[in-house]
Structure 1
Amino acid sequence: MEQVPTTILSTERCHLGEGPTYDVATDTAWWFDIREGKLFQAHLGSGAIRIHALGRMASALGRIDAERQLVVAEDGCYVRTLADGAMTLFCALEADNPATRSNDCRVHQSGTFWIGTMGRKAERGLGAIYALHRGKISMLFPGISIPNSICFAPDGATGYFTDTARGALYAVPLDPDTGLPRGEPEVLLRHTGVGGLDGSVCDADGQIWNACWGASRVDVYSPQGECLRSLHVPAKQASCPAFVGPDLSRLLVTSAWQDMDAEARAADPQAGCTFVLQASARGRAEPDVKLA
């Protein structure tokens, strides 16, 4: 396992850190503490961090434009205005099912937003993966227990996702113009050993950077499913990566202390912190979500 230079971006210990993304135009990273209903905002150049209380569980966001974001929450998607933090419901999603919440999400190059849901207690098969395409929600894959690793190849023609409970990373052919499937998912790799597949992001070369929950690392896979690198993360439960920095060469990694008792948290003192790894990556900027 590689030990790359690593700094702590935020010492705030997230119950369940997730959903990191980065806005190159403003040098700002965003991520969530799902369980505590918090949105983190960090200006990388200055190190200034703000924490926004959302009043609901939320797990991911996509940039709409310079003034607005689309926040994916436990009961639907909200347009959030950056100037004042006001949230306006755009569309409901499983709002009639109090047993579920949102989880892993990512925006396709076309502007289509893939959104994962799951049971609040990770109940088997209770979640799904949806697509928000031009303002309309449709279900892509039902019966998902813990949706994770949603990310897309650089040409937009392949999508990836996992059901962490099944330990398999799937690849599915996509229409690059819409981000919607044009074939069935196939198993790209099966995870073995310690930990489980959590959040992922694709770099400019099509490599898949996966946070391995429970194993204190990020694994890098080729588009063929071969493990190329493993980078140490100083918290056991690494949850999701995002490329950050003006040249997108660094890797932000969220983590969590969820399900840890007092003894386990004492043994993992940085659990829940948010890190930046000097990964020497060739990252890609996240696209804007398109609502119409």
Structure 2
Amino acid sequence: MPAAEPICVVKTPAILGESVLWHPVEKKVYWLDLKGPAIHIYDPASKAADIWQLELDVPMGTLVRAREGFVLTGREGTFKVDMAARKLTPWVNPNDRPELTMFNDGKVDRQGRLWLCTSDNKEVEPIGGIYSLSADGKSEIHDRGFACGNGPGFSPDGRIFYFSDTMVRKVYAYDLDPRTGALAGQRIFTEFTEEQGMPDGMTVDAEGGIWICHWEGWRVTRFLPSGEIDREIRLPVPLVTSCAFAGEALDTLYITTATVGLDAAALARAPLAGSLFAVKTGHRGLPEPVFGQA
């Protein structure tokens, strides 16, 4: 298959674009600027882009759909989000080390549990963890030992949990028990070279292909479940952060990017840094589960 060409659909210098999400009812793409802080909204049909600037400590973590509205994570814990009213309501804080760590990426599994990654505040010490959160507000810690946790992603049958240990350039796979939510059998799924950058956010398509974003790597790569590289999509920006399939047929991959840490020379070389990109990959995604809805 020939390499697809990504297009910039929202040109904006987001500081740390992340957590891209398709809403199949509203038919809109949501994504965050973790250090804006802001929620971005894009309508592919009208090409209209909107932004909701938030008054929260930075960085934020992740945005997921819930049975009612959305759930957002931030420095202060989780928030229930009423997008129409532009209202945030503080909820629970599963982070048991809030003075040392911060929420980063997260996703909902096939059973409706929210999985959250935390990182060391300075992204140096391996003290971040993997948490799960249920709709009743109860949380569980499953693993620790990561300076910057990213991803995560789930196999189509929900039995494999993929996780990026960004700072050491490793992606792990775990066995996930769909009934209990227990993780076991950690193993290395793939390791990035320095030239490839560092593994960041990801999504899994309907065939089980794992699409991983490359921080400082200028690309998104599709891996087969065996760990073999299937294809790469190059982008005109270095800091590639998260991706998700969207559209009526879930056949368009949307990709967020960042500008954080780029100097004037780097920005001149990559003037679209921070923007939202879209690409037809020839693959289809899976409907993103809703928090609290199995």
Q: TM-score, normalised by structure 1?
A: 0.94
Instruction: Give the paired residue count.
Output: 290
Structure 2 counterpart of 1:24: 24
Structure 2 counterpart of 1:47: 47
Contact 1:209 1:218 in 2 (8 A): yes
Deviation at 1:118, TM superposition (A): 1.2
Structure 2 counterpart of 1:271: 273
After TM superposition, the structure 1 = structure 2 runs for residues 211-250 of structure 1, keeping only pairs within 5 Å, are 211-250=213-252
Structure 2 alignment gaps of length 5 or more = none
Structure 2 counterpart of 1:11: 11
Q: Secondary structure of 2:249's match?
A: coil
Q: Secondary structure of 1:184's match?
A: strand
Structure 2 counterpart of 1:185: 186
Structure 2 counterpart of 1:106: 107
Contact 1:75 1:94 in 2 (8 A): no
Question: What are the superposed Cα offsets for residues 242-280 of structure 1, whole Å, 9 maximum, x if unpaired?
Answer: 101110111100001111111111111111111001212
Q: Secondary structure of 1:70's match?
A: strand
Q: Secondary structure of 2:61's match?
A: strand
Q: Which amino acid aligns with 1:262?
A: A
Q: Distance in 1 between matches of 2:179 and 2:9?
A: 35
Alignment RMSD, CA only? Answer: 1.9
Q: Which runs of 4+ in 1 moved over 3 A?
A: 93-96, 177-180
Q: Secondary structure of 1:150's match?
A: strand
Q: Secondary structure of 1:165's match?
A: helix
Q: Which amino acid aligns with 1:21?
A: L
Q: Distance in 2 between matches of 1:221 and 1:96?
A: 33
Q: Secondary structure of 1:263's match?
A: helix
Identity of aligned residues (%): 29
After TM superposition, the structure 1 = structure 2 runs for residues 160-179 of structure 1, keeping only pairs within 5 Å, are 160-179=162-181
Structure 1 alignment gaps of length 5 or more = none
The 1:180–1:112 alpha-carbon spacing in structure 2 relative to 1, beyond 3 Å, is farther
Contact 1:108 1:179 in 2 (8 A): no
Deviation at 1:166, TM superposition (A): 1.7
Deviation at 1:80, TM superposition (A): 0.6
Question: What are the superposed Cα offsets for residues 101-126 of structure 1, whole Å, 9 maximum, x if unpaired?
Answer: 21111110100111111133212213
Q: Which amino acid aligns with 1:25?
A: V
Contact 2:119 2:149 in 1 (8 A): yes
